[in-house]
């Protein structure tokens, strides 16, 4: 019960205090949907009718707050999370397959949220909005490679991401208070997005070489 109250407070503060922050609104769904699906799957040891998240002060109709409303609004995504939790309880589960189911559910939740809040990217600077779009495309490739979301690997990976919100004057790879790695990654994400757009089927044509490139690198951090 205490955990649910804390979770609700976090969600309300994130969605309510930042009036036009698309990323915080999207993060609500990346937290709420997997949590509610976990309750629904039974692995949390509580009844689904015990859980109701507090609504944000504004735009309440954009957010589902309990299992039934989230299942009604996002049936495909909730099903994917449930599949993951069922697989977790399987005695024959493997780490690579676990990553597959995890990424399937995460990408589905992200795309649901992106459709709802894409228009709010206009409240960011152009570089920050572009980075948000670039990142969403990049996640498709990380998902295809079953990128391992272990604590150590994610911590290492985040060293290359922007340490602050981007402003209009930021131009990678020439951002003076970013590291060389951060500048390079920011530029690379944008180039990947451009290639993905220009090919039309970028994920299909580039998936195999990207997987081959990433796997030797990321397995060393699992």
State percent of the chain over pLDDT 90: 55
Average pLDDT (86-105) is 91
Among residues 145, 115, 133, 141, which one has the least CA distance to residue 190? 133
15-19, 27-31, 91-95, 190-194: least confident range: 15-19
Average pLDDT (165-187) is 97
Which residue has tokens 């030797």? 216
Question: Omega before 173 cis (within 30°)?
Answer: yes
Q: What is the pLDDT of residue 199?
A: 80
How many degrees, rounded to 5, is the angle at CA 94 between CA 93 and CA 95? 130
Q: Which distant-in-sequence residues (6+ apart) come within 8 Å of 201 by Cβ? A: none
Condensed to tens digits (0 to 9), the pLDDT of residues 117-130 reads 999 898 899 999 99
How does residue 153 score in pLDDT terms, banded at 50, 70 and 90?
confident
More confident residue, 147 or 127: 127
**pLDDT of residue 108 exceeding 90:** yes
Q: How far is CA 147 from the centre of its chain?
A: 13
pTM above 0.75, yes or no: yes
């Amino acid at each position: 019960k205490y955990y649910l109250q804390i979770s609700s407070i976090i969600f309300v503060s994130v969605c309510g205090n930042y009036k036009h922050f698309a990323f915080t609104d999207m993060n609500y769904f990346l937290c709420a949907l997997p949590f509610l699906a976990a309750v629904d799957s039974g692995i949390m040891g509580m009844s689904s009718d015990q859980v109701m998240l507090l609504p944000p002060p504004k735009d309440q109709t954009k957010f589902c707050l309990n299992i039934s409303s989230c299942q009604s609004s996002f049936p495909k995504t909730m099903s994917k999370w449930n599949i993951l939790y069922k697989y977790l309880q399987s005695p024959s589960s493997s780490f690579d397959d676990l990553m597959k189911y995890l990424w399937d559910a995460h990408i589905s939740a992200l795309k649901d949220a992106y459709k709802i809040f894409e228009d709010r990217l206009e409240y960011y600077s152009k570089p920050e909005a572009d980075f948000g779009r670039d990142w969403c495309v990049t996640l498709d490739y990380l998902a295809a490679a079953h990128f391992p979301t272990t604590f150590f690997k994610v911590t290492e990976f985040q060293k290359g991401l922007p340490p602050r919100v981007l402003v209009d004057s930021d131009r990678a790879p020439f951002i003076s208070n970013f590291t060389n790695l951060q500048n390079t990654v920011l530029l690379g994400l944008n180039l990947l997005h451009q290639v993905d757009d220009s090919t039309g089927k970028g994920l299909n044509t580039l998936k195999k070489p990207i997987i081959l490139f990433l796997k030797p690198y990321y397995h060393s951090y699992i």
